[in-house]
């Protein structure tokens, strides 16, 4: 299992538009990804309803994880998603 911890960079947290941007990136990652609050249950990062249900606030630390067989691919995907979340990007980067 590969994991990344990151603070949510969107001031409003993972709600509405930021959640949509994140879910599209997670879906395009090419590996299964979960997202969780610290000490919380992980949910499917490619599910809009699951991500919204977390209620992750701006500045809050979250955990991104993947149990993909290809650890290098999983690590690269999580690095891209962690950067997206930490920087609070308003658009998907070309490399997602």
* Nearest partner of 5 among 47, 28, 34, 44, judged by Cα: 34
Q: Which member of 3, 7, 15, 24 is catalytic?
A: 15
**Separation of alpha carbons 29 and 78, rounded Å:** 8
Give Cβ neighbours of residue 64 (< 8 Å, ≥ 6 apart): 3, 4, 5, 6, 33, 34, 35, 45, 78, 81, 82, 85
Establish whether 15 is a catalytic residue: yes
Catalytic sites, residue numbers: 15
């Amino acid at each position: 299992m590969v994991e990344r911890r990151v603070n949510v960079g969107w001031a409003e947290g993972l709600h509405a538009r930021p959640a949509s941007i994140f879910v599209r990136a997670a879906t395009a990652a090419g590996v299964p990804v979960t997202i969780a609050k610290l000490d919380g249950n992980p949910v499917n990062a490619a599910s809009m309803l699951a991500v919204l249900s977390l209620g992750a606030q701006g500045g809050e630390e979250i955990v991104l994880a993947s149990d993909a067989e290809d650890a290098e691919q999983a690590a690269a995907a999580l690095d891209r998603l962690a950067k997206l979340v930490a920087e609070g990007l308003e658009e998907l980067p070309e490399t997602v």
